[in-house]
Structure 1
């Protein structure tokens, strides 16, 4: 994208491969007093467009900026202030992508190719939610709007044309697989879900399929706990009733969005005697973590966090790897298409100025000619059509030269056409709108009210 517009697409982030959970949970920015996008919009003026993606396994900042070095420097300073970590504590865990590599990375993320569980579908919904929030905070513009629409269509194409999403494998599924490894069989067991979001719902489905006989659901909002519990013929509790729930259960899967620990050592320790030291397994798939690590120190209590699921995940990848190769080819093809569109951003103002100048000349000369002739409306319409057709045919070759020659010869094509047609003496025209550039074919991916 070297000959594209001055704006660069940047991605700075960390994920399950580059950073431990204790660093990732700081970057989730759950404890800040306002939405991260509000902070970035105010404190990162170097970035013209911003999107913030935060999931259990990754935190990424997707930016559009003309000054990449200064933007990254300012962003790291903001992260120091908001996370409480020194740069030296997190810098080695960060990855950075620019332009083509950034586009490829985002396409791969949304398609499930960069997930902890290869091909897991939840990430696409999380990317869409991040985009919805960015539109709500007005931090997107023409480039990110187009990029995100294209991201959604690429992910859809990957799902449709490959088997990357076959065989139910997700973080929730991996959690249940881990529980099965621990107990051998889940038949007759009682499971407790702490949190009633999408991840908990998926975990509940897998637990029932694995043979769990009794399901408990604890959630901060009791109505949501009741709704989920009824769906799986279980029992609902509020979070204040957690000690009572823990007395009855064998397996606990936590997935709340709470900023701090929901289950602590002090909560669990008094229950050991009442449980008669029956084993209790916590599988914590939340980021930030729901279960205090010190709980793992108690007798016959075992705590696994999301990083512990990696081994289980690896065992479920085999059937998807071949399909992933096909998905990677689709991603590369779509990266090239987006790169071509991005490059044409620099060509578009010249094409627009060329068409406007030709149209102005056509209308001026047509008015002079028609003013001297006594013609019927039909005859005037015929001449109008004729002149429009002449202009289109005359402009076809220079516009084609701009679009193709630009890629081969860089900005020389633009300079040549502007000089030949003396465009710099005319109004160059305004920048293209997002609707003009992106077309209507992808508008169905995001509700119109988001634009």
Structure 2
């Protein structure tokens, strides 16, 4: 019987964070859940992807064709929750839809930030964890390896990552355009909010080392310095410190402009009009908009950054259209491979039966043909093999072609009866031998 692939999940679109928290898995729980899944007869292979934005259970098994609810039961039983409370948050895909969903996830097309790459590493980690717990076999080895290939191919062949997709990252990208070597620039942060912290993180990722944090709360500023290095300065010294900075990130809760055109004109005179990059991510704004009229001043506020971000997301969505074509092709390729597996046991059994007949007839013929040289014996054996292979070649090709058709099970049953083949029996013997370690 053909194994069915099923995925059950929740993500940022289907469930609020309080639900996602309940269904997320710690490292310890992942080990326990994978062991627990091995006790479920229908779940022959299991991979669990658990991130802050999604929890997904991927399962494969012959029994899932008729009982996909076994995956739901597995999750709710393990987590000790009632299915009724969660059913509106779940999505469940089977067969080709499940394959396509995984490929979309690996490529970042199902992420909160379209096209993000972190999820690809998380898919890889989930697959490796299941391998360690011996919860993957032929189907999932092929599926998850191909998912990793698909993710890499999408990022390589499309422009989905060419455009920053967060306000903080957009700000750093713009700074990169103004300063050829960003890591050599001096950065000053006014305020110590979450957006400022994210922007500093991206700047530090680019190699920036020289950091000053200016804030009314020295304690809050100290937390940023602990995270990213640098030093803390008193807010009252703001105008004395700004001339030393190349990049200024301003994110205070002041009800008025802390920097206006007059103040920045004096700052630029002290800098000898050397260019400066101002990122105003405060709402209401910290920096007067007419500051950008001063030569050498590059000012971006939240509206500017949001406009760039929206344009970038449009570009990402265009790239996502290309990615969908890649995923559609890869899904079809995997499905063709999976369909072909449906007839593999029959082809194997057919070849084995033909080989038994060939050997029996060859031995009988060689007994009658006494006195043949070794070379002549090999010629006769080669002839028997060629006859067998030629006879099977077209039936095998036709079987592979029919593998994707709905009535292939009937075709398999007819051929088993016609040639007296017991596929399930032979398959069962193989599994018993495997269990005994043969």
> When the two structures are superposed, what TM-score results if normalisation uses the length of structure 2?
0.66
Shift of 1:331: 0.9
Q: CA 1:326–1:356 in structure 2 vs 1: closer, same or farther (change >3 Å)?
A: same
Shift of 1:204: 3.3
Matched, 1:338 2:334: yes
Q: Which has the larger radius of gyration?
A: 2
Matched, 1:246 2:220: yes
1:296-375 to 2 correspondence within 5 Å?
Answer: 316-372=312-368, 373-375=370-372
Q: Flag the structure with more relative contact order, 1 or 2, with Cα contacts below 8 A and sequence separation at least 6.
A: 1
Match of 2:115 among 98, 113, 119: 119
RMSD over aligned CA atoms reads 4.2
In 2, the alpha carbon distance for the partners of 1:402 and 1:204 equals 57
* Equivalent position of 2:275 in the other structure: none
* Equivalent position of 1:78 in the other structure: 77
Q: Which runs of 5+ in 1 are unaligned?
A: 195-199, 217-242, 255-273, 282-299, 301-309, 434-451
In 1, the alpha carbon distance for the partners of 2:44 and 2:55 equals 20
In 1, the alpha carbon distance for the partners of 2:349 and 2:40 equals 33
In 2, the alpha carbon distance for the partners of 1:71 and 1:421 equals 36
Tell me, yes or no, if the aligned pair for 2:155 and 2:161 is still in contact at 8 Å.
yes
Match of 1:397 among 382, 394, 397: 394
In 1, the alpha carbon distance for the partners of 2:154 and 2:138 equals 24
- SS of 1:13's partner is strand
- SS of 2:44's partner is strand
Tell me, yes or no, if the aligned pair for 2:172 and 2:203 is still in contact at 8 Å.
no
> When the two structures are superposed, what TM-score results if normalisation uses the length of structure 1?
0.64
In 2, the alpha carbon distance for the partners of 1:401 and 1:427 equals 24
Q: CA 1:87–1:160 in structure 2 vs 1: closer, same or farther (change >3 Å)?
A: same
Tell me, yes or no, if the aligned pair for 1:190 and 1:248 is still in contact at 8 Å.
no
**For each residue in 1:125-154, what CA deviation from the matched residue of structure 2 results, as whole angstroms up to 9, or x when unmatched?**
110010000000111122111111121222
In 1, the alpha carbon distance for the partners of 2:373 and 2:427 equals 34
Q: CA 1:28–1:14 in structure 2 vs 1: closer, same or farther (change >3 Å)?
A: same
Q: CA 1:57–1:381 in structure 2 vs 1: closer, same or farther (change >3 Å)?
A: same
Q: CA 1:69–1:140 in structure 2 vs 1: closer, same or farther (change >3 Å)?
A: same
Q: Which runs of 5+ in 2 are unaligned?
A: 175-185, 229-233, 237-249, 254-283, 285-305, 432-438
Q: CA 1:384–1:89 in structure 2 vs 1: closer, same or farther (change >3 Å)?
A: same
Tell me, yes or no, if the aligned pair for 1:50 and 1:134 is still in contact at 8 Å.
yes
In 1, the alpha carbon distance for the partners of 2:199 and 2:60 equals 35
In 2, the alpha carbon distance for the partners of 1:78 and 1:341 equals 33
In 2, the alpha carbon distance for the partners of 1:161 and 1:102 equals 23
Tell me, yes or no, if the aligned pair for 1:111 and 1:155 is still in contact at 8 Å.
yes
Count of residues paired in the alignment: 342
Matched, 1:189 2:185: no
Tell me, yes or no, if the aligned pair for 2:172 and 2:199 is still in contact at 8 Å.
no
Tell me, yes or no, if the aligned pair for 1:104 and 1:332 is still in contact at 8 Å.
yes
In 2, the alpha carbon distance for the partners of 1:88 and 1:246 equals 44
In 2, the alpha carbon distance for the partners of 1:425 and 1:212 equals 67
